[in-house]
Each structure stands twice: as structure tokens, then as C-alpha cells.
């Protein structure tokens, strides 16, 4: 435990303030949920690198800082500020500024019937019973301090509910905006809490999109519970593109029913220290899960992906594909844990992590971890670490394509593997544009450090467990 | 002015000298063939001329169209009109063939100050060239060379050459691994591109290709030097007597 008394004190003050004003403070079950979670957080504190699940990611920078919750007064953010972050063809957009829902900036215009979308705070006021059945039922606050902290401050976020058999076209866009204050106060923290409930045989796409409007420090600790009923088809996108000072910890907990098909797409482009937890539980027979991700870091960015795939039922399939591109001093982590429970016979689990290191100082730690308690399963895993293919680069250049353009083409092709796994549509188009912009800015920083590029031994960390 | 003028060219890779003083002059409209045993430096010459960064030129000069070729980057050489048909064409997953080729063509056009070609103009021209190489246009929606057979890869090289219309085409063992039918198609494609402004340098180990692409000049490369030059009949003589003969003749000459 590295959380000092001072820091705990600051969280305690925030919590008691939050308890006085938060939505649902009078609901016994919710109050208990939050209080238990806060107690758990106080008990364990932030993890350290001695904790196996956090070996490669040091969160001291988060633990040692004091953050405060934003007050709920309306901000000066305007529609114009968000214009370039719009997903064209999204059917609705919920905007949260520093963790608080902004009705003024949101739009629900094109929502079909059978779909309920609102802020969690509004839903708590309107129909708390609909939440009680799900909220906090899946996320494990015992094993993860950040999840506990999020639950303690669970007050606002996105709520999506799709009625049985309804197919929602287009994407539901949850936009989380962080923007600083100039008053010299402590940096802001937010704990967005999202709940996505897709009833049996429904179909929906939800995009969580995290952005900064300026260069101020912030700590975003977000958690999403996604419930996919029997035969439901859900695509979830987590897009991290905050500024290079931002700390972002996200946890996606997916609960899949019989024959449910859920895709999780994570695209990490921004942030200083980013931890992306994806935790599906395949709880019904014949479920399918795609866990697809791209992380591209440069400068001093630290991008950690922690996958925990639980096969709890027979005949389920999971496929994990994560591609990493790391430049400068960036540090990437891929931890792919697969647990196959005793009864999950005929499990088919696959895991692939591919990485490109563009500089001598870039680093990747990749670690598969398979725990198999059933005896008739197929589990494969593999990881590769390489550089830009110099032979391919020369081939492109020999046809007249400029070196920087050729490099970008090769990076785009590598990132394109992740795009190809996304269903064509509004969300994918949005992601494609973001990746293209990000790789272009990458190429600029590559050119600046081109002198350092040479083939030599890299810092490789490769470990196999189970 | 000659199109390519090489004088006393020395080149090394990883500190090993491979080319040990090459002299070669190629004029527009000519087809030259470089023959020689394995390891004699044929491919190195091709790579140096297309400006592969792994090869270090330690001595000598190469003027292309009056400009210092050795100062050029690979993409500059390509934009100036040099094309290398690779001995081992590279597979590039994730980049479509047609997209790649249009990007290359437009890079070259931009360099020359010409307008870029849009997809509408590109496609009919591209289809024409596909027909010339008897290639299935289904291949073009795939990634560059990915899943191509050996013959398809070699044909794809000539297809690229047909689209990019270089002034100096270097064919590096384009015949290796080709059956006779594929060889004829490749040769037909190459011959269709012969004209008075374009020169070709055909690097090959075997005389077979030269039955179909008939050169104006043949040079024999042994141990990093051109030991003999002549007309197309030299290729036949080599076929008969083998490179060993050339090598021995050279040793005798040195002695």
C-alpha cells in the first residue's frame, strides 16, 4: 500500500462531500454499495508493482497526488469545442464534462423506440429499481482498488438499455470531456460509471470516448458494466485520446449470456499512464467474445492492457488480438490472462499480441497467463515483437514512395489489422480517422528522432505462465 | 549523353567488398544483360543502382541522366525513372496492390510536377496493363504480393514496371523459378516496354531468359568485376562453356 494518510484524507473528504450531494444518496442499497466500496479502497489502497497484476505499471504518480471532484456548476464548454469530436451517424450523444452529465451538450435526437439512453444520475432519480438489478453486481471491488474507488464515487455516467429483440443501427456515443480549471486548485478526478444492458437478442454499439480539451492534469477512473443477454450482439469501443498529462484507468466488465456475441475494441492513443482492463465472463453456453485492441504510444506514454478472460461455460470462444506501436520512450504492456473454469469444456480461446517498437528506448512487456481447469479445451497464445520491416520499407521506396510516407503506410497496415476486425459503420469510420491522425503525428516525431533509429537488441520481456 | 554511366564502382555490405570496380555504360534504347555465377555481385549491382541503403559505395561514380545517382535516395532514383524488378518481391500485408501502385505512380507524377491520377483515370490504364501480363484482377484487391505464387509475384513486378514506365528498368533474376509459360508472359510484358527511350539491365544467371528478351549487349560479372563484354552471342557461348571457363580465363589473364 503506497497510499499515504494525506491522500486517504483527501479521498475521505471527497467521499463525505460526495455522499452529501450525490444522486441516490437516500437509496439504502446504493449508499451501502458506495460505502462498502470506499471501505475496501481504504483497506487496500492503490496497488504497487509488487502486486503481480501491476508488475509493469507504477501508479505512484496517481497515488501520490491529491485530486478533487469537479463541482457540478455548468462549464464553459460549448458545442463548438466538441464539434470535431462528433461521430457522424451517431444516433445519440451523451456528453460528460469532468464527470458530470451535460444536458446542454448532449443530444438524443435519433433514438429509436425500445432503446433507453440517459445519464446514470438521471436514471437513479427516475428508476433506481432498473439499476439495482445490475449496478455493482459484476464488477469485482475485492480484487481491484480502482474498481472499488470507482464504485465509491459512482454517481454519473452513461446508462444504455436495449429492449429484447431490438436492433439499434448506428452508434451510441458517450463522450467524456476533461477540461482544467485555471484557479490553481488540485487537479480533477472523475469516476464515470457506465451500465449497458442489452436484453436477449438485441443488438447495439456503444462508443466510450475520452478526450481532453486542454493540457491540464486529470485522473479519470472509469468503469463499465456491460450485460449481454442470451443471443445479444454488442460492440463496445473504448477510445482513449486524452492529453499527455492524463491518467486514465478503465475497467470493462462484460457479462455474457448464452450465445451472446460481444466485441470489445480498445484504441489507446492518448494519456500519460493508461491502464485498460477488459474482463469478460462467458457465463452462458456458446458465447463468443472478441477482444480487439490497438495501443500506440510515443514520448513517455505508458499504455497497459490487462485482459482477464473467464470461460465459465462450455462451447464458448474468445479471441484476443492486441497490436501495439511504441515510439520514443513509450512503454506498452499486454497482460493476457485466460481462466477456463472446470465446467467450461470445449472452450476455444485464442490470444495474439503483436508489437512494433520504433525506437531503441521503446519497451513492451507482454505476458500470457493461462489457467485451465477443464480438460477438453483449445487455448493458444502468441506474442511477437519487431521493428518496421526494412525490406518492405525499401520495396515501397524503390517504387517512388517517400520514406516517411512509406513508414506511415506500413504502420497503417499494422493498425489496419485492428480496424478490419471492427464492423463497418459509424464507429469504425470514427476510429479509422482517429488512428490516421494519430499515426501522422507519430511520423512527425519519428522523423525528428530518425537519427536514433537503428537495429539493435531491444529490451525484450517475455514470460510465460501456465 | 548516356543514360547510365558507371565508372570504377566499388561497393560493400557489412564491410565485405562485393563490387570491385565496375565500368558500364548504357544508352537509351539499349538492353544490356549482366550474367555471372552466384555470388559474383549481380544482385548487389542491381541493389546499388536502386539505392538500397544497406550497400555502401566506397569508390567510383554512377551518373544517371547526367545526375549523380549515388547521391539519390531510393525514392528519388525511382522518381527519376529507375525501376528494380526484385528477385524476391516483398509481401506487404495490409496494403492493397492497386492502392500501392496508384500511390507509387502518383508519387512519381508529383515529383515530375504532373497532376496526380485519380482512381477513375487509373483503373482503365491499370486494366490494360493487367491484360498485358495476363493477370487476374482479383489479385489486385489483395495485399501486395500476399498469397501470390512465385510466378504471380514476378508478373506483378513487370506489371508495376508497365504502370510506372521507368526509363531504366533493372530486372534482377526475373526468370528464376519461372516455368516456361510464365517466362514467356513475363518476356512478352518486358518486350512490350522496349522502346528507343527506355533502357534495360537484365540480370540473370541463365541464358534461357535471353532467348525471349534478346539483349544488345552481354556482360560477364565474376568476383565483382566485369570480365568480358560482347553481343548476344556471348550468352550462348557462356551457356556452352559455363562460368568456370570465364573464371579460369580471368585467373590466367591475371597470372
| pLDDT (average), residues B27-46 | 95
Enumerate residues 6+ apart whose C-beta is below 8 A from B168.
B3, B4, B26, B49, B64, B81, B82, B83, B198, B199, B200, B201
Average pLDDT in the A80-86 region? 91
Look at residue A74 in the predicted model and tell me its pLDDT.
61
Instruction: Using a CB–CB cutoff of 8 Å, tell me whether A404 touches chain B.
Output: no
Residues A166-185, mean pLDDT to the nearest whole number: 87
Task: Give first-to-last CA distance, chain A, whole Å.
Answer: 28
Reported as a pLDDT band with limits 50, 70 and 90, residue B242 is confident
A393 touches chain B (CB under 8 A): no
8 Å CB contact of B103 and A394? no
- How high is the pLDDT of residue B246? 63
Question: Which residues neighbour A388 within 8 Å (Cβ) at sequence distance 6 or greater?
Answer: A356, A358, A407, A410, A411
Answer whether residue A182 shows pLDDT above 90.
no
Rounded to a whole number, what is the distance in angstroms from the first to the last CA of chain B? Answer: 37
Query: Residue A420's closest chain B neighbor by CA?
Result: B94
Alpha-carbon gap, residue A278 to A308, rounded angstroms = 6
pLDDT number for residue A179: 92
pLDDT digits (tens, 9 = 90+) for A111-154: 889 999 999 999 999 999 999 999 999 999 998 999 999 999 99
Q: Is B107 in contact with A405 (Cβ distance < 8 A)?
A: yes
Place of cell 480517422: A433
pLDDT above 50: residue A321: yes
pLDDT given at position A300: 95
Check CB contact of A1 with chain B, cutoff 8 Å.
Answer: no
Q: What percent of chain B has pLDDT over 90?
A: 79
Q: What number of other Cβ atoms are within 10 A of residue B128's Cβ?
A: 11
- DSSP letters, A309-344, are EEE-STT-EEEEEEEEEE-TT-EEEEEEEEEE-TT-
Name the band, by pLDDT with cuts 50, 70 and 90, for residue B176. confident
Judging contacts by C-beta atoms under 8 Å, the chain B residues touching residue A432 are none
State whether B92 and A413 contact (CB < 8 Å).
Answer: yes
Cβ separation A401–B104 shorter than 8 A:
yes
Smallest CA-to-CA distance from A300 within A244, A350, A348 is with A244
Quick: pLDDT tens for A404-442. Answer: 999 999 999 999 999 999 999 999 999 999 999 999 887
pLDDT(A251) > 70:
yes
Average pLDDT, chain A: 92
pTM of the full structure: 0.90
Q: Is pLDDT at A388 greater than 90 in this prediction?
A: yes
Distance from CA of B101 to the nearest CA of A (A): 8
User: Looking at residue B1, what is its pLDDT?
Assistant: 82
* Interface with chain A: mutation pick from B54, B75, B153, highest number of A CBs within 10 Å: B75
pLDDT at A223: 98
Separation between Cα atoms, residue A331 and residue A318, nearest integer Å? 26
Q: What is the pLDDT of residues B165-175, one digit of tens each?
A: 999 999 999 99
For residue A46, name the pLDDT band (cuts at 50, 70, 90). Answer: very high
Flag whether pLDDT at A461 surpasses 80. no
Rounded to a whole number of angstroms, the distance from the CA of B107 to the nearest CA of chain A is 6
Q: Which chain B residues contact residue A397 at CB under 8 A? A: 73-75, 78
pLDDT at A7: 80
Spell out the residues 6+ positions from residue B211 whose beta carbon is closer than 8 angstroms to its own.
Answer: none
Judged against a pLDDT cut of 90, whether residue A445 lies above it is answered with no
User: So what's the pLDDT on residue B247?
Assistant: 65
Check: complex ipTM more than 0.85: yes
Cβ neighbours of B86 in A, within 8 Å: 395, 398
Cβ(A77)–Cβ(A97) below 8 Å: yes
Percent of chain A with pLDDT over 70: 94
**CA–CA separation, A155 vs A159, rounded Å?**
11
For chain B, the average pLDDT equals 92
> Residue A285 contacts by C-beta under 8 Å, 6 or more apart in sequence?
A258, A259, A313, A314, A315, A316
Helix, strand or coil, per DSSP, at residue A203: strand
User: What pLDDT, on the 0 to 100 scale, is given for residue A450?
Assistant: 46
For chain B, say whether A401 makes contact (Cβ under 8 Å).
yes
Instruction: Report yes or no: B107 at the A interface, CB cutoff 8 Å.
Output: yes
Give which of B13, B72, B74, B95 to mutate to test A binding, by max A Cβ within 10 Å: B74
CA-based nearest distance B90→chain A, Å: 6
Q: Give the single-character DSSP code of A85.
A: G
Q: Does B53 lie at the interface with A, CB-CB under 8 angstroms?
A: yes
Average pLDDT over residues B213-233: 94
pLDDT in tens, A260-270: 999 999 999 99
CA-CA distance, B180 to B201, in Å (whole number)? 21
- Contact call for B86 and A395, based on CB within 8 A: yes
Q: Above 60 in pLDDT, residue B38?
A: yes
- The closest of B219, B217, B170, B211 to B193, measured between CA atoms, is B170
Please indicate if any CB of chain B lies within 8 Å of the CB of A405.
Answer: yes
For residue B107, the chain A residues in CB contact (below 8 A) are 399-402, 405
pLDDT at A459: 35
Q: If pLDDT is split at 50, 70 and 90, which confidence band does A463 have?
A: very low
Q: Which three cell numbers stand for residue A101?
A: 452529465
Structure confidence at residue A447 (pLDDT): 58
- Model confidence over A86-121: pLDDT tens digits? 998 889 999 999 999 999 999 987 788 999 999 999
Tell me whether A397 touches chain B (CB under 8 Å): yes
User: d(Cα A387, Cα A356) in Å, to the nearest integer?
Assistant: 5
pLDDT band of residue A465 (cuts 50, 70, 90) is very low
Cell numbers linked to A220: 479519470
* pLDDT-derived band at B239, boundaries 50, 70, 90: confident
Amino acid at each position: 500500500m503506497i497510499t499515504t494518510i494525506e491522500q486517504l484524507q483527501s479521498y475521505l473528504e471527497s467521499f463525505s462531500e460526495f455522499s452529501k450531494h450525490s444522486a441516490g444518496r437516500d437509496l439504502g442499497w446504493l449508499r451501502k454499495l458506495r460505502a462498502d466500496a470506499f471501505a475496501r479502497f481504504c483497506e487496500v489502497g492503490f496497488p504497487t508493482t509488487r502486486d503481480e497484476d501491476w508488475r509493469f505499471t507504477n501508479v505512484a504518480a496517481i497515488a501520490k497526488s491529491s485530486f478533487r471532484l469537479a463541482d457540478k456548476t455548468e462549464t464553459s464548454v460549448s458545442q463548438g469545442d466538441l464539434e470535431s469530436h462528433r461521430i457522424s451517424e451517431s444516433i445519440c450523444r451523451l456528453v460528460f464534462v469532468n464527470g458530470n452529465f451535460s444536458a446542454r451538450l448532449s443530444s438524443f435526437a435519433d433514438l429509436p423506440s425500445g432503446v433507453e439512453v440517459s445519464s446514470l444520475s438521471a436514471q437513479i432519480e427516475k428508476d433506481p429499481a432498473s439499476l439495482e438489478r445490475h449496478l455493482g453486481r459484476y464488477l469485482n471491488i475485492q480484487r481491484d482498488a480502482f474498481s472499488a474507488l470507482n464504485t465509491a464515487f459512482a454517481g454519473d455516467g452513461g446508462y444504455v438499455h436495449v429492449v429484447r429483440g431490438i436492433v439499434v443501427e448506428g452508434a451510441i456515443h458517450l463522450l467524456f470531456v476533461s477540461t482544467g480549471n485555471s484557479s490553481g486548485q488540485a487537479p480533477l478526478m472523475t469516476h464515470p460509471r457506465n451500465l449497458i444492458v442489452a436484453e436477449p437478442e438485441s443488438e447495439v454499439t456503444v462508443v466510450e470516448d475520452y478526450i481532453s480539451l486542454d493540457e491540464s492534469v486529470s485522473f479519470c477512473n472509469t468503469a463499465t458494466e456491460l450485460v449481454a443477454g442470451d443471443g445479444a450482439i454488442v460492440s463496445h469501443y473504448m477510445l482513449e485520446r486524452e492529453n499527455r498529462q492524463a491518467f486514465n484507468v478503465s475497467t470493462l466488465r462484460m457479462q455474457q449470456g448464452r450465445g451472446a456475441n460481444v466485441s470489445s475494441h480498445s484504441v489507446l492513443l492518448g494519456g500519460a499512464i493508461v491502464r485498460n482492463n477488459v474482463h469478460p465472463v462467458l457465463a452462458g453456453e456458446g458465447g463468443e467474445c472478441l477482444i480487439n485492441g490497438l495501443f500506440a504510444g510515443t514520448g513517455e506514454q505508458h499504455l497497459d492492457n490487462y485482459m482477464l478472460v473467464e470461460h465459465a461455460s462450455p462451447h464458448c470462444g474468445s479471441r484476443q488480438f492486441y497490436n501495439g506501436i511504441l515510439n520514443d520512450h513509450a512503454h506498452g504492456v499486454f497482460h493476457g490472462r485466460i481462466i477456463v473454469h472446470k465446467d467450461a469444456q470445449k472452450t476455444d480461446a485464442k490470444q495474439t499480441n503483436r508489437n512494433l517498437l520504433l525506437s531503441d528506448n521503446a519497451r513492451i512487456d507482454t505476458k500470457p497467463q493461462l489457467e485451465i481447469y477443464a480438460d477438453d479445451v483449445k487455448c493458444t497464445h502468441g506474442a511477437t515483437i519487431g521493428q518496421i520491416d526494412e525490406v518492405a520499407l525499401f520495396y515501397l521506396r524503390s517504387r517512388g514512395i517517400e520514406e516517411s510516407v512509406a513508414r506511415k503506410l506500413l504502420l497503417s497496415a499494422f493498425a489496419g489489422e485492428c480496424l478490419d476486425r471492427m464492423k463497418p459503420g459509424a464507429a469504425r469510420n470514427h476510429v479509422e480517422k482517429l488512428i490516421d491522425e494519430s499515426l501522422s503525428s507519430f511520423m512527425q516525431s519519428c522523423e525528428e528522432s530518425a537519427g536514433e533509429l537503428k537495429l539493435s537488441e531491444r529490451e525484450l520481456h517475455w514470460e510465460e505462465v501456465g | 549523353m548516356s543514360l547510365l554511366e558507371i565508372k570504377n564502382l566499388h561497393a560493400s555490405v557489412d564491410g565485405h567488398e562485393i563490387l570491385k570496380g565496375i565500368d558500364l555504360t548504357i544508352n537509351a534504347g539499349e538492353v544490356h544483360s549482366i550474367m555471372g555465377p552466384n555470388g559474383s555481385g549481380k544482385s548487389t549491382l542491381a541493389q546499388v543502382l536502386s539505392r538500397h541503403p544497406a550497400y555502401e559505395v566506397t569508390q567510383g561514380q554512377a551518373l544517371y541522366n547526367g545526375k549523380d545517382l549515388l547521391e539519390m535516395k531510393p525514392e528519388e532514383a525511382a522518381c527519376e525513372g529507375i525501376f528494380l524488378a526484385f528477385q524476391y518481391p516483398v509481401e506487404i500485408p495490409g496494403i492493397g496492390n492497386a492502392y500501392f501502385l496508384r500511390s507509387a505512380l502518383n508519387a512519381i507524377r508529383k515529383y515530375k510536377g504532373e497532376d496526380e491520377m485519380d482512381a477513375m483515370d487509373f483503373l482503365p490504364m491499370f486494366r490494360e496493363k493487367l491484360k498485358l501480363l495476363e493477370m487476374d484482377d482479383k489479385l489486385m484487391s489483395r495485399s501486395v504480393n500476399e498469397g501470390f505464387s512465385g510466378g504471380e509475384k514476378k508478373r506483378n513486378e513487370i506489371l508495376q514496371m508497365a504502370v510506372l514506365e521507368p526509363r531504366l528498368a533493372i530486372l534482377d533474376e526475373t526468370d528464376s523459378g519461372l516455368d516456361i509459360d510464365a517466362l514467356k508472359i513475363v518476356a512478352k510484358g518486358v518486350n512490350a516496354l522496349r522502346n528507343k527511350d527506355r533502357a534495360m539491365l537484365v540480370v540473370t544467371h541463365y541464358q534461357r531468359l535471353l532467348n525471349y528478351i534478346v539483349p544488345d549487349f552481354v556482360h560477364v560479372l565474376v568476383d565483382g568485376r566485369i570480365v568480358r563484354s560482347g553481343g548476344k552471342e556471348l550468352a550462348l557461348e557462356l551457356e556452352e562453356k559455363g562460368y568456370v571457363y570465364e573464371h579460369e580465363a580471368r585467373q590466367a589473364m591475371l597470372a
